[in-house]
């Protein structure tokens, strides 16, 4: 994937502005910030509401993994020594760890559909 020559970010080709000279190999965000293009000229630049919605969709997708990791650390540090709760909590954590990949597999289609809905249409210019 190409790299922006201003911010050194690596993005897919549809996130770059088309042109030669100072516009060559410049991502849409840097192109708008540096005044090389107007925001209306780049359909692949996400506005704030689309950016927030995409971030929210990604957060909903990966939040169970984060919470499960935190719960494992809490069990290792604190709950493993608590006598009546250690085995019950361990069983729940193991069941959750086994069930999480299945959950993510079953709901991957919903995540892909959400991301496709939140991705603006992009037509590749000639020669790009």
Q: In this predicted model, what pLDDT tens digit does every residue of 46-71 receive, in sequence order? A: 777 888 998 999 999 999 999 999 99
Q: How far apart are CA 108 and CA 110, in angstroms?
A: 5
In this structure, which long-range contacts are made by residues 119-127, counting pairs with CB atoms below 8 Å and at least 24 apart in sequence?
120/43, 120/44, 120/46, 120/50, 121/43, 122/14, 122/43, 122/44, 123/43, 124/13, 124/14, 125/18, 127/18
Domain that holds residue 20: 1-45
Check whether residue 19 and residue 38 sit in a common domain.
yes
Condensed to tens digits (0 to 9), the pLDDT of residues 64-109 reads 999 999 999 999 998 888 887 888 899 999 999 999 999 999 999 9
Average pLDDT, the chain: 86
Check whether residue 73 and residue 25 sit in a common domain.
no
Residue 127 belongs to a domain: no
Check whether residue 40 and residue 52 sit in a common domain.
no
Question: Helix (H, G, I), strand (E, B), or coil: what is residue 9?
Answer: coil
Rg over CA atoms, the chain: 22
Note the pTM of the prediction, 2 decimals. 0.65
Residue 128 belongs to a domain: no
Q: How confident is the model at residue 123 (pLDDT cuts 50, 70, 90)?
A: low
Number of domains in the chain: 2
Residue 67 belongs to a domain: yes
Check whether residue 76 and residue 99 sit in a common domain.
yes
């Amino acid at each position: 994937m190409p790299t922006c020559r201003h911010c050194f970010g690596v993005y897919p080709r549809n996130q770059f502005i088309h042109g030669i000279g100072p516009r060559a190999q410049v991502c849409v965000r840097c192109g708008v910030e540096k005044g090389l293009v107007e925001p209306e000229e780049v359909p692949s630049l996400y506005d704030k509401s689309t950016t927030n919605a995409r971030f929210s969709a990604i957060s909903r997708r990966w939040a169970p993994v984060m919470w499960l990791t935190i719960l494992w650390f809490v069990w290792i540090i604190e709950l493993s020594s608590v006598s009546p709760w250690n085995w019950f909590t361990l069983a729940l954590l193991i069941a959750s760890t086994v069930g999480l990949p299945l959950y993510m597999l079953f709901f991957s289609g919903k995540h892909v559909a959400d991301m496709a809905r939140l991705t603006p249409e992009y037509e590749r210019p000639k020669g790009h």
